[in-house]
Structure 1
Amino acid sequence: MTSPHESAPQTAGDGRDPVLDAGTYDRLREPRSDGRLPLGDGTWHQVSRKYVVVLLVSNILALVLVAAAAIVLGVVLELDWVWLPATAVAAFILFGLLIAHRQARSIGYQLRDDDLVFRRGILWQRIVAVPYGRMQLVDITHGPLDRGFGIAQLKLVTAAAATGVSIPGLTQRAAERLRDTLIEVAETRRTGL
């Protein structure tokens, strides 16, 4: 049987891959609290640094749209009640802007012998292990902003909807390489589906 590491050549002794780790952060950021979910052993790959820029641009665009809608409704149509919800939404978006860098640094994935482990989140932590033999679909998507910055999102679909994973912010080359690796390994690990 083929290990996912055999189909992805690595040059560094630390397990980093030149394609999967190109333009990413050096280490996975994890929460500092004692109640955090542990990372475990192995090599963690992260998302592209450009993903933070996409998060910032999309949040700024959302903030501009909220402000424009509030001005039109509040000033032009003289609806005074609109300022309270607009302020609440703007505060939520500003909070997203403040933590975007930290959130992006908390996203990572690990290719183990039998499964892919995905981790994300600082405040709301999630760690999911997806067995290779249970993967039914590996999909790459990217919106206009993603294409402009050369990144993509890789989606893994399994029979159980709760274990589906979306890895955002991968470089286009890393997404294609990871897709090919996962399909190749999944074909050798089919478990009766």
Structure 2
Amino acid sequence: MTNTPDFPERTPLPAEAAPGERVGADPWPRVGADPSPQPGVVAPEPTPSRDAPVFDEGTFPRILEPRGAGRLPLGDGTWHQLARAYVRVQVISQGAFLLLVLAVALALQLFLNLQWQWIPAGILAVITLVGLIITPRQARSFGYQLRRDDLVFRRGILWQRVVAVPYGRMQLVDITHGPLDRGFGIAQLKLVTAAASTGVTIPGLTQAAAEQLRDTLIAVAETRRTGL
């Protein structure tokens, strides 16, 4: 009788596992996940999170776009929008500017007995009132999308603009906010690239969304520049 050595059973690999890919791994990992790879496992390339809930907290539900057939299409993917508080900040800012213009014009008439100042004051007042009317609709035309290789930013209804910023070209990610912005919990995020024409400024982000977007973009940009 021949003795046959016992070998442990080999666990079959899943048929759909690609070379160098973790089985069941999310190709779009969430921000804050542990990036350290497990022994014997190749870590996936860091990519921005598309479903981070902080990007959509307190924002508008959908992007407004022109109705004409020649409009720039939204395309596929998830679009994130500005915070609702951005409209309130803009209304307060433009309303304060309008009151200041009227107060200066009235003071010139009362103290210096001038009349000509009402012409420029009236022009500025009309422009400001038009801005107050279109601000809510204009704010809902802003949107940004995190794709695998770049960030896409769009804005505008009458004059549309769509910019794609590759992660590897980003040189600086800056967050700014004024006193009124801090009072409503919003901030402005600016992306600086080698070409000034491709720079993007995203206004009206919540503070949490701006900070998380900054950390995500910096992490991905560093990876793309080093070629990992």
Q: After TM superposition, is the score higher than 0.5?
A: yes
Instruction: Name the structure 1 match of 2:186.
Output: 151
Asked whether the 8 Å contact 1:135–1:158 carries over to 2, the reply is yes
Alpha-carbon separation, structure 1, partners of 2:140 and 2:148: 24
SS at 1:45's partner residue? coil
**Percent identity of the aligned residues?**
68
Any gaps of 5 or more consecutive residues in structure 1?
10-14
**C-alpha displacement of 1:191:** 7.4
Q: TM-score, normalised by structure 1?
A: 0.90
**C-alpha displacement of 1:16:** 4.3
Any gaps of 5 or more consecutive residues in structure 2?
1-20, 33-49
Alpha-carbon separation, structure 2, partners of 1:140 and 1:132: 17
Instruction: Name the structure 1 match of 2:63.
Output: 28
Structure-to-structure mapping, 1:34-183, within 5 angstroms: 34-183=69-218
Q: If each structure's helix is expressed as a fraction of its own residues, which one has the higher value?
A: 1
Asked whether the 8 Å contact 1:110–1:118 carries over to 2, the reply is yes
Alpha-carbon separation, structure 2, partners of 1:140 and 1:155: 6
**Which letter maps to 1:182?**
L
Asked whether the 8 Å contact 1:4–1:111 carries over to 2, the reply is no
Q: TM-score, normalised by structure 2?
A: 0.77
Q: Which has the higher contact order (CA 8 A, sep 6+)?
A: 1
Alpha-carbon separation, structure 1, partners of 2:225 and 2:102: 51
Q: Compared with structure 1, are the counterparts of its residues 187 and 76 closer, same or farther at alpha carbon in structure 2 (3 Å cutoff)?
A: same
**C-alpha displacement of 1:4:** 9.1
Q: Compared with structure 1, are the counterparts of its residues 31 and 16 closer, same or farther at alpha carbon in structure 2 (3 Å cutoff)?
A: farther
Instruction: Identify the range of structure 1 (173-182 vs 77-86) with the bigger mean alpha-carbon deviation.
Output: 77-86
Output the aligned Cα RMSD: 2.0
Count of paired positions: 186
Asked whether the 8 Å contact 1:134–1:191 carries over to 2, the reply is no
SS at 2:171's partner residue? strand
SS at 1:66's partner residue? helix
Alpha-carbon separation, structure 2, partners of 1:48 and 1:136: 26
Alpha-carbon separation, structure 2, partners of 1:124 and 1:110: 19
Deviation readout 1:42-93 (Å, 9 max, x if unpaired): 1000010000000100010110111111111233222211111111110000
Matched, 1:6 2:41: no
Alpha-carbon separation, structure 2, partners of 1:74 and 1:123: 38
Instruction: Name the structure 2 match of 1:12.
Output: none
Asked whether the 8 Å contact 2:81–2:143 carries over to 1, the reply is yes
Q: If each structure's strand is expressed as a fraction of its own residues, which one has the higher value?
A: 1
**C-alpha displacement of 1:6:** 2.0
Q: Compared with structure 1, are the counterparts of its residues 109 and 75 closer, same or farther at alpha carbon in structure 2 (3 Å cutoff)?
A: same
Runs of 4+ off more than 4 Å: none
Alpha-carbon separation, structure 1, partners of 2:91 and 2:27: 33
**C-alpha displacement of 1:179:** 0.2
Alpha-carbon separation, structure 2, partners of 1:72 and 1:179: 46
Instruction: Name the structure 1 match of 2:221.
Output: 186
SS at 1:81's partner residue? coil
Greater Rg by CA? 2
**Which letter maps to 1:120?**
R
Asked whether the 8 Å contact 2:82–2:142 carries over to 1, the reply is yes
SS at 2:145's partner residue? strand
Deviation readout 1:27-55 (Å, 9 max, x if unpaired): 11111122322111110000100000001
**Which letter maps to 1:6?**
P
Asked whether the 8 Å contact 2:30–2:52 carries over to 1, the reply is no
